[in-house]
Amino acid sequence: MWRTTEGSPLFTESVFRLCRLGMPLNRAIKEWKGKLGEEVRMAALHREISKLSLESRRVLLACAYMGGASTVELKQVTGYDDVRMTSCIAELQSLFLLAAPEFIREIPRFKVPSNTARLVAEKEKELVPNPASLKKTISNLRAGNRTKRVNRVAEAIAQGNALLREKRFDEAIKTVEAVGNRYGDNPDLLLMRGRCYFEKSKEYNNERSYNIDARRLFKKAYDLGQRRDLLYEMWHQSELDADHPNGALEVSDAAIKDGIGARSEWLLRRTKALYTVSWRHAKAQNVREAQDGFGQCVDDIRRAIGKGEVSRFQEAELKSVLNRINNDRRDLALGSANDFEGWEYAVETIVQIVKEGDDNIENIRAAVEAFTKMVESVPKDNVGKHHFAACSNRHREVVALLRRKQLIPDRERTILEDKLRALMDEVEARRRSISAS
């Protein structure tokens, strides 16, 4: 044997594998004497494969392609159930598969020795009818696993994803944590752990404790440099699930700043979050904070439309939302004013809405109403020059709105202009009276 193989471990192993398959030792030595160990290995492999079941051949090739995999990953790649997978593993273990280091005891892992994997890949068409289809399945299942770090990190994430697909959340978490204990705060592992808790929260009706862990891990992954689109998507949703629009707003801001995905999509997400935050300010009587927020919503919607990344249907829908927000701005301005400064701010807000392009005739009428209240709210005592200056400035702005694009019917416009002129005459008369005294 030693003379025939010249001490080659591969050659020797291959001869003995042929013997194990039923070839007498003397015949094996005689038949393969002078041949290369690689040729013998291929012959032995060919015979071994021919004796495998069709299911085991698919499992073998999948494991060779993947460079090592857990049983749960192999099940999903092949589509086999637990019973069939157990049978295949038992058939393959004696010849082809080696136990690979586990992440957690409950989930065994296997690999194909490198030499065997290379030879198996060369015979892929003998193992399965359509190797390309199997490769595509593996690629699809591992599509989200694009880490640039240590191979064990990538393997742990792949196993974790496979467990999540079966809703085995605790085992997925244990898998990722086991590797995290070795590699520390790896941004990819932190993202994966966050995903485990996020999906577990979803499965249990947005269970608060799981969502808290998910949000904490997403934030930590971001702080350590994680910038994958998936992070922003899940982090944003987890903040919404927690009824925390301020958090969703911060995530949207970060996504826009970092250039993640379609900018128009994140502008609209920011708008939704900011709209909710603004209404909460309004209910808390923080009117100016609310109006600033509504104004930012309008700007974001206009920018999203201007990017040309929305369909005609979406554009029409967004314009409808824009009108609704402007109506909210107008109603909030009118409903929250109760003194001179409040009514002046109401006029300023409504004028700004019209200048931004919302030519709704109700806005113009509201501006006249707000100016009327403003004049009526001029203090009877302690009147200052700034009151008259403010009235004069706002009067000019409201008159300009009345004449804007001839939106108001002529007769109504004449009546409103006369009303405004009478109000200013009243203001002027009071000013002269105060000056004379």
How far apart CA 199 and CA 229 sit, in angstroms, is 17
How far apart CA 99 and CA 84 sit, in angstroms, is 19
Contact between residue 365 and residue 388 where contact means Cβ atoms under 8 Å apart:
no
How far apart CA 283 and CA 16 sit, in angstroms, is 83
Q: Which of the following CATH numbers is that of domain 147-243: 1.25.40.10, 1.10.10.10, 2.60.40.1230, 2.60.120.1440?
A: 1.25.40.10
78-81 long-range contacts, Cβ below 8 Å, gap at least 24?
80/55
Q: Give the three-state DSSP class for 390.
A: helix
Q: Give the three-state DSSP class for 33.
A: coil
Q: Give the three-state DSSP class for 157.
A: helix
**Tens-digit pLDDT profile for residues 147-205:** 544 588 999 999 999 999 999 999 999 999 999 998 888 999 999 999 999 999 999 99
Q: Is 77 exposed, middle or buried (0-12, 13-18, 19+ CB in 10 A)?
A: buried
DSSP 437: -
Q: What is the pLDDT of residue 8?
A: 47
% of the chain with per-residue pLDDT over 70 = 87
384-390 long-range contacts, Cβ below 8 Å, gap at least 24?
387/340, 388/427, 388/428, 388/430, 388/431, 390/340, 390/344
Q: What is the pLDDT of residue 248?
A: 97
198 CB-side CA count, 13 A: 25
Q: What is the pLDDT of residue 5?
A: 45
Q: Give the three-state DSSP class for 69.
A: strand
From residue 414, give the alpha-carbon distance in Å to each of 188, 310, 404: 68, 42, 14
For residue 411, give every residue at least 6 positions away whose Cβ sits within 8 Å of its Cβ, in sequence order, or none: none
DSSP 404: G
From residue 332, give the alpha-carbon distance in Å to each of 173, 283, 284, 286, 302: 48, 10, 12, 11, 21
* Helix count and strand count (H, E) for the chain: 23, 3
How far apart CA 75 and CA 89 sit, in angstroms, is 11
DSSP 224: T
What are the domain boundaries of the chain?
2-50, 147-243
From residue 314, give the alpha-carbon distance in Å to each of 237, 255, 308, 311, 398: 21, 21, 11, 5, 33
Q: What are phi and psi of 161, to 5 degrees?
A: -60, -40
> Nearest 5°: CA angle at 138, between 134 and 141?
135
* Regions in the chain scoring below 70 on pLDDT: 1-44, 144-150, 381-383, 405, 437
DSSP annotation string for 82-113: HHHHHHHHHHHHTTT-EEE--SSTTS-EEE--
- Give me the helices (H) in 94-207, please: 114-122, 124-127, 131-141, 151-165, 169-183, 187-203
236 residue type, one letter: H
Q: What is the pLDDT of residue 48?
A: 75
Token digits of residue 294: 């509504």
